[in-house]
Amino acid sequence: MLHAMRIVDFEPRHAEAWKALNEAWIGRHFAIEPSDREVLDDPVGKVIGIGGVVLMAEDAEGEAIGCAGLKPVAAQQGGGLEVIKMTVSEAARGSGLGRALMQACIDRATAMGARRLYLETNSALGPALGLYRAMGFEDLPAQATPYQRCDVWMQRPLP
């Protein structure tokens, strides 16, 4: 199934899919918070416009089936890029797309000169945690976060 997928940079045509994909996973497990709403409603202004990237995964028909963002982290908070809003549609789960999206994040962040990737997540998201650890992320002590649901903080050094 993975061979028919491609990962592309966000375009305005992806705006509704970006929002819908993320609302689906967040709403399934948690409440959507004001910090979510900001980046879901305005990925160009709140991510891309500040030096970040939004990646969209598409199937063979061009339908968005996954996404991930890379948002700059302030130097006083460790620098690098934060992996945000990474998700795969229900239909694409188990296809390897999550791993492909994370590898695309690692590759893009490295190309952008970032020294590390950072992420915030929740201990209830077992498959996601397994993927992050398998891809070189290590746990950090608690950090300041705008998300009430966050109880796991991780980073991965980049070359």
CB 156 within 8 A of CB 137: yes
pLDDT tens digits, 94-129: 899 999 999 999 999 999 999 999 999 999 999 999
pLDDT at 152 > cutoff 60: yes
To which H or E segment does residue 83 belong? Answer: strand 81-88
Phi-psi region of 134 (alpha: psi -120 to 50; beta: other; left: phi over 0): alpha
Question: Cα–Cα distance between 135 and 157 in angstroms, integer?
Answer: 11
pLDDT tens digits, 1-34: 456 899 999 999 999 999 999 999 999 999 999 9
Q: Which residue has the tokens 């990962």?
A: 7
Q: Which CATH class is domain 2-157?
A: alpha beta
Sequence ranges of the domains in the chain: 2-157
Question: Cα–Cα distance between 34 and 38 in angstroms, integer?
Answer: 6
Residues 6+ apart with CB under 8 A from 43: 10, 15, 18, 54, 69
